[in-house]
Each structure stands twice: as C-alpha cells, then as structure tokens.
Structure 1
Amino acid sequence: MSVILVFLLVIFCVAGWWLANQRIMSKPWLEGGVVGALPDNDVTHMPTAKVGLGVLLAVIGGLFALFASAYFMRMEYADWQAPPMPAVLWLNTGILALASVALHCAVVAARGGRMDTTRLALAAAAIASLVFLAGQLVAWRELAAEGHNLRVNAANGFFYLITGMHGLHIIGGLVGLGWTVRQVWRSQTITARLRLGVELCAMYWHVLFVIWLGLFVLLAGWASNLVAACRQLLM
C-alpha cells in the first residue's frame, strides 16, 4: 500500500505542476488589459488532445502502481524467488532514455520550425524504441534459457507481466509516433497540428520512461530500500 501511495503522490505532483504551467486555475476575468483579450496561454488555448492524453497517462500510471503494489504483497510469501536481473535491461534503460531525449529535441525543433531536425529526431526516437523492444525480448530469452520460465515461480510471472505490459504501451505509442512521422515526412512546413502531434508523442514517451525507471527499481530489488527511506522521511 505504501508503494502505490508514493507512486500516486508522484503522479499527482507532476500533474499539478503541469496544470499550473497551463494556467488551469487562472482567472482571466480578474486580469488587467483590453476587454475581451485573453492571455496567450489561457486555458482556452490548451489543446483538448493534451488534456485527454494527460488523463490517459494518469490511468496508465495508476495501473502500474497497482502492479507494483501487488508485486510487493506477493513478495511476502515464502515461495518468492526473484529472477536474476538481465544485464541487457541496463542497456534498454539507456536506449529508452535516448528515445525520450530525441523526442524532446523533436519538440524543440518543431517549435522552431526546423523540419529536417524534427524528422531526424522523430526517426531516432522510433528506432530507439524498436531497439528497446528488441532488447526486452532478449531479456525474456535469457531468463527462459536459464530456466526462469513463466510457471516456475510467481516472481517470474510478475517479471514477464510487468515488462510485457510496458512493452505493449510502447507498441501502442509507436502507432501514434508512426502516424506523426508519416505526416511530418509528407509535409513541407511545421504546422500547428504537426507540432501538437510531436508534443503529444514526447509527453507519452517521457511518462513511459519515468514508469520504466520505477519498474526497473522494482525488478532490481531496490524498491524496498526506497520505500523504507520514504517512510523515514515522512515520520
């Protein structure tokens, strides 16, 4: 229960920071200026797609928080034997970080109207994401080759379930990223719609990267120490 509360607290803090930047709590009727002129970054200018994606990402974060909570509760049983951490997961983490950085660069380039840089950054993010998925399959094969199959131990099942669900979310994001790449390569200039598509992809990848970091800490066996440290800080 402590894990899910800490995870949800982090999600709410990030969501509150993002909403504050979007001026969701602003009161334009109390602001000075010409009558009828709204600020450029008023809430009415916030794309609906961003709000919808924010809600979706909150749900995804809650889902993985539930997985983490179930993981911790199952660890209390005597038959729990966590599988060894495949070394390739370290490389996968770096590759997913590169995908997130590439998408951030794509957002900066799109806002600056630099088409070539935007295309290059989007392509790099897509390739890095595919390499990440391939690396996850390599990790599965390594565990299976060492005898850590799905039915051998509950810990093995959790490993395949959690990493598999995260991989499915990456695949789902690749569908949207592929559509965005296609639109950018077919266009000659960066339009507002294309820029929004790039920003949505970046939002999705940033959150999935943060979730993966949490899962990595969980699967590596460091989560118990982290939760204990959080409890000491809260006491």
Structure 2
Amino acid sequence: MTSDLKLVEEPKKPLSMNPKKFSLWLFMITVVMIFAALTSGYIVRQAEGNWVMFELPFEMWVTTGIILLSSATMHWAYLEAKKDNLERVKLAISVTSVLGIMFLIGQFYVWGVLVNSEVFFVGNPSGSFLYVLSGLHGLHIVSGVIFLIIVLISTFKYKVHSKSLNQIQMCTTYWHFLDALWIYLFVFLLLNH
C-alpha cells in the first residue's frame, strides 16, 4: 500500500520583484558605481601631488543635518501611508520636498563660500572634484524632489494608501539612498580634503 504513494515535487515559484522597483535598484547600483569611480579617481589624483588642501565650509555640516532630517520626514510619510493617514502623508512629503530644496540651496551657498575661499571649479583638481561630486549629487536630489512631488500629487488623488504603497515605497527607498550617498560623500570629503 505504501508503494502506491509517490512524492510529487511542487514547482518552485520564481523570485519576483515589481519591474519598477527592479529598475530603481538597477539605477541606484549605477549611481553607486559612478560615485565609486569618482571617489576612486579623487584618491588616485590626490596621490599624484599638486593637490590644494582646504577646509570644508561649516555650511556643509548644516546641509548634512538638513538631509538627515529629510530622511526622517520621508520615513514618517511612509509610516503614515501604511496607516492611511493621508493628510499626514501630504504634510510629511511636503516637508521632505522643502527640506530637499533647502539642501540644494544650501549646497549652492556652499559653492559661493568655496569661491570666496578661492576654491574654484577650474584650476586645482581638488576643487574640481568637490564641485563635481556635490553637483552630481545635487542633480540626483533634484530628481528625488521631482519624485516626491509626483508621489504628493498621487496622494492628493488617493492613489497612495495602505493597499497601494508601491510608489511611496520606491520614493522612500530612493530618498534614503540619496541621503546615505550624501553621508558617504561628506565623510569621504572630510577624510580626504
């Protein structure tokens, strides 16, 4: 009687991920590779000599605080979306967007401080690298703010809620990524300026 029993192996389910999330992760990996190449180039070029050393402006500490705060408000937006508190989601995303814009304005101000300190984009490579690293990161912050505004509009249209979290999850992931990327760059610059 036991010989009639046969073991049937269940087909394995393939690993799956939302295609938009997968694309976001591929994009973030690409960005990491770009910044890894730039910071590696920074170290290699610095070792060649003819490198002007300068102090990073205090305002970079301020912008770093702003971006850390924006990460907290973005996480708050995500948690409120999970609870269907859409008014708080709108508030948190709005605050995050404003903080992102404040970060950009602060970074532009930092460039002015650098120019006043005679650290220019053209001239010594140390200044060039600083402008390229912070400018390229700023460009990604602009894309993050645009993403935030898209999610905010979706929230007003009631497309973001506990049963539809994909868009805000992706936005949260991207925003935290941008924040972590800035922390990496800031610490890198502190250690290698």
Compute the TM-score of the two structures, normalised by the length of structure 2.
0.88
Task: Report the alpha carbon displacement of residue 30 of structure 1 after superposing the two structures with TM.
Answer: 7.2
Counterpart in the other structure of 2:185: 215
The 3-state SS of whatever aligns with 2:127 is: helix
Counterpart in the other structure of 1:229: none
Contact kept in structure 2, 1:150 and 1:156, CA below 8 Å: yes
Report Cα offsets for 1:141-160 as digits up to 9, x if no partner: 00111211112311000000
Counterpart in the other structure of 2:125: 154
RMSD: 2.2
Contact kept in structure 2, 1:102 and 1:122, CA below 8 Å: yes
Contact kept in structure 1, 2:83 and 2:162, CA below 8 Å: no
Counterpart in the other structure of 1:52: 23
Q: Mind listing any 5+ residue stretches in structure 2 that lack a counterpart?
A: 1-8
Compute the TM-score of the two structures, normalised by the length of structure 1.
0.73
Q: Mind listing any 5+ residue stretches in structure 1 that lack a counterpart?
A: 1-27, 32-37, 224-235
Report Cα offsets for 1:154-211 as digits up to 9, x if no partner: 1000000000000001111211111111121233872644x21111111001111111
**Identity in percent:** 26
User: Which AA in structure 2 matches 1:196?
Assistant: N
Counterpart in the other structure of 1:110: 81
Report Cα offsets for 1:20-62 as digits up to 9, x if no partner: xxxxxxxx9478xxxxxx8xxx944x32211111111111111
Counterpart in the other structure of 2:5: none
Alpha-carbon distance change, 80 to 29 in structure 1, aligned in 2, over 3 angstroms: farther
Structure 1: distance between partners of 2:188 and 2:160: 43
Report Cα offsets for 1:115-166 as digits up to 9, x if no partner: 1111111111101100000000010000111211112311000000000000
Structure 1: distance between partners of 2:92 and 2:71: 10
Contact kept in structure 2, 1:115 and 1:188, CA below 8 Å: no
The 3-state SS of whatever aligns with 2:161 is: coil
Contact kept in structure 2, 1:82 and 1:156, CA below 8 Å: no
Structure 2: distance between partners of 1:123 and 1:30: 46
| Number of equivalent positions | 185
Give the structure with higher Rg (CA).
Answer: 2
Structure 2: distance between partners of 1:192 and 1:213: 33
- Counting only pairs closer than 5 Å after superposition, residues 4-43 of structure 1 correspond to structure 2 as 29=10, 43=15
Contact kept in structure 2, 1:103 and 1:198, CA below 8 Å: no
Structure 1: distance between partners of 2:73 and 2:100: 11
Q: Does 1:184 align with 2:184?
A: no
Report Cα offsets for 1:78-130 as digits up to 9, x if no partner: 21013320101111111111111111111111111111111111111101100
Counterpart in the other structure of 1:200: 170
User: Which AA in structure 2 matches 1:69?
Assistant: S
Counterpart in the other structure of 1:134: 105
Return the structure number with greater relative CO, CA threshold 8 A, min gap 6. Answer: 2
